[in-house]
Structure 1
Amino acid sequence: MITRKLSIALFAGLLASPFLAGTAHAAPASLAAYPIGNTAALTKSPLYTSGGLPRSSCPERAVTPGSVASAKSYVTPLFTCLNESWAAQLKKARIPFSKPRLQFISRPQRACGQKWPTHAQGIYCPSYRRIVVLLDKHLTRQAEDLFLMDVIAHEYGHHVQNISGIERGFDRLRHRSKTEYDEQLRRLELQAECFAGAFIGSVWDSLDRTADDWDFLLDATRESGDENNKVRDHGKGRNIANWLSRGYKAAGPAACNTWVAGSAMVA
């Protein structure tokens, strides 16, 4: 049996979405303001002024730990809730909405034309507009602890970035070094986590959850940052938890403008 400590360590890989990143081309210093510049698609998205997500009901289905079938039955209605909530939100922002595709796999395999990344539990493929979820023993055994909801909501956040033009703005960013690119990528990932928090906050009253459930997710998130990995693409655990919490408290995307945050908040 996997212990809680190991589960928390494994959570570091739950939010990986490496297929989202596009190719950002290096540019002379005079053409690239560090780290973002005045990129309206990122810093001034109409999502930020669209108000809170609709307070809607999205009761969770019971999950049998370790059961793939049970996890699928949990995700399917959750996915419907995400579609309805973000469709309404994008309508307020006057942004055309389209549903992403959802695919389950039970073991790592090629997805969206690429090899499955190490430790990832979910990915989003922009060109396919598809969310792929790896329902393996690591995720299904922890599904009752809000992990599965957060994984799905995070990947859906990348879909929101894609159809709203944020992901395209990210692809067009220029960088002068790997350090600068890594910070840009962390801003993208932390925003998706904030969007996840916003959704969870908007449906929280309909969940049969306690404050302890939320606190456990935040505590696990604090232990899941780049400190536990060799890459610097998702942020320190405290920053991931901070953006998740910001989205949850606001229950809307206004709190999720990572592109204008100070570098320390996205380290």
Structure 2
Amino acid sequence: MPFQAAPPPPAPPQAPPQAAPQGAPFPVPPPQWPGWAAQPPAPSRGAASPYPPPAWRPPRRKSGAGAVIGALMGVLALVFVLIVIVGALVGLSDHDETVSPIAIPTFSPFPSREATTDTRPTRNPTSEPTSRPTTRPTPVLNRTAKNNTLYRAGSLAKPNCRAGNASIYNHTQFKALILKTGTCMGKAWAPALERVGIDWSPPKYMIAARKGRGACGDYPSPGSNVPYYCPSNSTIYASTSAMAREYGPLGSWNGIIVSMMAHEYGHHIQSLSGISDSWWRQTLDSGSRSGKLALSRRHELQATCFGGMFMRSIAASYPIDTTRRNTLLWAYSHLGDPPGGPRDHGNTRSNAAWFRQGYTRPSAYQCNTWAVGSSSVS
């Protein structure tokens, strides 16, 4: 069992003038009422009058009835004047607006009288206009193999991915199976990468019935029947007939083959996150063949762990019950570097351990093969 890696608005406007007490139509002090002019001062004592004095006439004696009528007329005139004044006041009060001047989108601290007649709903002056675009800072990514940003991505989404009953001995059905489950892998991985700011794009596929030539060479590679991932053009190459010969003897259940394709998809995740670039720089800097092979094993075993994470993500829908899970674990205990061959993928014990790690602890940081001792990636 490999070592478990540690988890990783504009400034608010000035305050408006103090509001008037309840019921008062304007802030205090009030402005001059419309139509009410200030009264001229009384003429000073002894000043000459611009008008000639009236001619003298003897006073007329009023009768009692006339006095009464005159008094009544005076009262009626006074009442009429009071009615006019009260009506004017009431009209002004009704005309006054209740919208605060700080509701204007410009948030001007000195609104004009026209601004106070705005009938739009009052806003919170400290809130941002809803049309203002929001910008998110570009995340700073760590693209090294050991401390990569990918390790903060957590677990994968759980896509609805059904097994189906494709025959691996039929090229059309086998190719459709690869493409369908590849789509499932994208649905599982894309949210995880996007969650930590890693740009997402799916890989391409080149699937031949027998063999072909790709950007990274022939497929399958000479002496191999397995698919491979080419980072130069982000493409997974596979031969359906070669894979049928290689994996057919493992049983009729296609889940083992899907997990192999999930391993190649894991290389695509390494490429997107920068892990593959970091691995390759370290390989070029290594001065020994054994050092280069050790780095290759870390790279390959991590892809195996990522494959285990994906198989766990579809366990409910594929489905993968206890028997099928045990079949996967058994298969990876028999997959690894062949005796006498190059030690570039890891032995059967390491392959089984890292697939189990991804399946039983399906979080990206648990697949950090770059943070463990050499004995865990042998």
- Aligned residue in 2 for 1:12: none
1:98, CA displacement in angstroms?
A: 1.1
What are the superposed Cα offsets for residues 1-50 of structure 1, whole Å, 9 maximum, x if unpaired?
xxxxxxxxxxxxxxxxxxxxxxxxxxxxxxxxxxxxxx961111111111
- Aligned residue in 2 for 1:216: 327
Q: Secondary structure at the match of 2:172?
A: helix
What are the superposed Cα offsets for residues 50-71 of structure 1, whole Å, 9 maximum, x if unpaired?
1111133211121224222221
- Aligned residue in 1 for 2:230: 125
- Aligned residue in 2 for 1:235: 346
Matches within 5 A, 1:101-180: 101-116=204-219, 117=221, 118-136=223-241, 137-139=244-246, 141=248, 142=251, 144-173=253-282, 174-180=285-291
Aligned mates of 1:232, 1:49 — CA distance in 2: 30
1:143, CA displacement in angstroms?
A: 6.1
The one-letter code matched in structure 1 to 2:158 is: R
What are the superposed Cα offsets for residues 103-139 of structure 1, whole Å, 9 maximum, x if unpaired?
1112233222513322141110001110112211315
The one-letter code matched in structure 1 to 2:320 is: R
Aligned mates of 2:320, 2:290 — CA distance in 1: 39
Aligned mates of 1:211, 1:192 — CA distance in 2: 23
Matches within 5 A, 1:247-258: 247-258=358-369
- Aligned residue in 2 for 1:93: 196
Which structure has the larger Rg over C-alpha atoms? Answer: 2
Aligned mates of 1:119, 1:228 — CA distance in 2: 15
Distance change >3 Å, CA 212–CA 228, structure 1 → 2: farther
Distance change >3 Å, CA 245–CA 68, structure 1 → 2: same
The one-letter code matched in structure 2 to 1:172 is: R
Aligned mates of 2:167, 2:218 — CA distance in 1: 29
1:251, CA displacement in angstroms?
A: 2.1
Normalised TM-score (structure 1): 0.80
- The 10-residue stretch of structure 1 (179-188 or 105-114) with the greater mean CA deviation from structure 2: 105-114
- Bigger relative contact order (CA 8 A; separation at least 6): 1
Distance change >3 Å, CA 70–CA 115, structure 1 → 2: closer
Contact 2:314–2:320 under 8 Å retained in 1? no
Q: Secondary structure at the match of 2:233?
A: coil
What are the superposed Cα offsets for residues 191-243 of structure 1, whole Å, 9 maximum, x if unpaired?
00100101111111112332222222222221221144511010010111111
Normalised TM-score (structure 2): 0.58
Contact 1:145–1:217 under 8 Å retained in 2? no
Distance change >3 Å, CA 72–CA 40, structure 1 → 2: closer
- Aligned residue in 1 for 2:297: 186
1:145, CA displacement in angstroms?
A: 4.1
- Aligned residue in 2 for 1:198: 309
Aligned mates of 1:45, 1:54 — CA distance in 2: 20
Structure 1: gaps spanning 5 or more residues? 1-38
Query: Are residues 1:53 and 2:162 paired?
Result: no
Contact 1:65–1:140 under 8 Å retained in 2? no
Aligned mates of 1:108, 1:143 — CA distance in 2: 23
Distance change >3 Å, CA 96–CA 182, structure 1 → 2: same
The one-letter code matched in structure 2 to 1:233 is: D
1:140, CA displacement in angstroms?
A: 6.8
Structure having the larger proportion of residues in helix: 1
- Aligned residue in 2 for 1:6: none
1:146, CA displacement in angstroms?
A: 1.7
Distance change >3 Å, CA 264–CA 256, structure 1 → 2: same
1:73, CA displacement in angstroms?
A: 2.2
- Aligned residue in 2 for 1:26: none
Contact 2:143–2:149 under 8 Å retained in 1? no
Q: Secondary structure at the match of 2:144?
A: helix
> RMSD in angstroms over aligned alpha carbons?
1.8
Contact 2:143–2:273 under 8 Å retained in 1? no
The one-letter code matched in structure 1 to 2:178 is: V
Share of identical aligned residues, percent? 29
Structure 2: gaps spanning 5 or more residues? 1-141
